[in-house]
Amino acid sequence: MLTLSLFIIGSIFGSFYNVCIYRLPNDLDVISKRSFCTTCKYQIPFYLNVPIISYIINLGKCKNCKSKINFSYLIVEILTATLFVYAYSLYGLSFKTLGYIIFYSGLLIIFFTDLKYYLILDKITIPISVLGLVFTFFQHNPFDVSILSSIIGGVIGYLIIYVIRFLFFKFRNVEGMGLGDAKLFLMVGIWLGIKSIYLILASSAITGAIIGSLIIYIYKKDKDFQIPYGCFIVIASALYPYLGSVFYNLI
C-alpha cells in the first residue's frame, strides 16, 4: 500500500518535472497554467491529466489533435515514480530519502533539458547545489559525504570545467563547454564529494567522445554536430554511487 502510494506520488512529481523540462527552457510559467498539448495548444482537463495512465490510455497521442506526445513524458513519469519507491526502500522515512530524491530528480530534469534544448539551467543546478550543502552540513547526505569533501568537490568540479572552457577559448576559439556544465559539476561535487569528480569527468568525457563519434559516423552528421555532453555527466553521476567504489577498489 505504501509502495503504491509512493509510486503514485512519484508519478505526479514526474508529471511536474515534465512541465519543468518543457517550460523552463522556454521561459514559461511552471505553476499557474494548466497542461496543454504542444501542437494544438488544447488544454488538458485535469481529470485526463493522470500521470502514466493517461499516456497509455490515449496511446501516446493528444486526445484532441491526435498528434504524437513525446515518449519521454512517459519515461520521466515512470522513472520518477520508481525513484520515490527506491529511495524509500534505501533509507525509509528520513532526510536521506528526501536528499536522494532531490539529487536524482535534478539529474533527471537536467538530462532531458540538455538532450532536448542543449541547456543546463541555473534554476535547477543552483538550488540543488545549495540544498546539497544544507543536507550535507546536517549530516543527511545520502551518500555519506563529509561537508569538507562536499565543499572541495563543488569548488574543484566547477573550476575544472571553467579552466577547460577557458583553454578551449584561448587555443581553439570555440566554446567547448558551457558554464552550465561547470554548474552541473558544482552540484555533483557537492552531493557526491571530491573523489567523484575525477571519475565522473573521465568516464563522461570518454563515453561522450565514443558515442558522439558513433552518432556522427552512423547518422552522417557533420563534424560540428553538438553532443549534449551534460547527458553523459548525468549518467556517470547517477551511476557513481554504485560503481565508483568498485572502480576505486580496483586501482
What residues have CB less than 8 Å from 95, skipping those under 6 apart? 135, 138, 140
Minimal distance in Å, beta carbon 72 to Zn ion? 17
Quick check: 63 and 42 in contact, CB under 8 A? yes
Here the cell at position 74 is 512517459
Q: Which is nearer to Zn ion, 67 or 245 (CB)?
A: 67
Nearer to Zn ion, 42 or 91 (CB): 42
Rounded to the nearest 5°, which phi and psi values hold at 61?
A: -125, 150
Q: What is the pattern of x (binds Zn ion, CB under 5 A) and - over residues 44-83?
A: ------------------x-xx------------------
Q: What is the closest distance, in whole angstroms, from the C-beta atom of residue 58 to Zn ion in the complex?
A: 10
Can you give the three-state secondary structure of 21-67, one letter per residue? HHHHHHCCCCCCCCCECCCCCCECCHHHCCCCHHHHHCCCECCCCCC
Residue 17: HSE in the Cβ half-sphere, 13 Å Cα cutoff: 31
Among 3, 28, 33, 40, binds Zn ion (CB under 5 A): 40
Q: Which residues from 162-221 bind Zn ion, rule CB under 5 A? A: none
Nearer CB in complex with Zn ion: 39/213: 39
Q: How far is the CB of 66 from Zn ion (least distance, A)?
A: 7
Query: Considering the rule CB under 5 A, would residue 28 count as an interface residue with Zn ion?
Result: no
Minimum Å distance from CB 63 to Zn ion?
Answer: 8
In the complex, the smallest distance separating the C-beta of residue 44 from Zn ion, rounded to whole angstroms, is: 9
Cell of 98: 528526501
Asked if 145 contacts 136 with a C-beta cutoff of 8 angstroms, the reply is yes
Q: Are the CB atoms for 124 and 106 separated by under 8 Å?
A: yes
Q: Give the nearest distance from C-beta 76 to Zn ion in angstroms.
A: 19
What is the rounded CA–CA span in Å between residue 83 and residue 248? 26
Comparison of 42 and 117: residue with beta carbon closer to Zn ion: 42
Residue with smaller CB distance to Zn ion, 69 or 124 = 69
Candidate residues 5, 39, 89, 245; the one interacting with Zn ion per rule CB under 5 A: 39
Residue number with CB closer to Zn ion (56 or 134): 56
Q: Which residue carries 553532443 as its cell? A: 227
Give the residues lining the site for Zn ion (CB under 5 A): 37, 39-40, 42, 62, 64-65
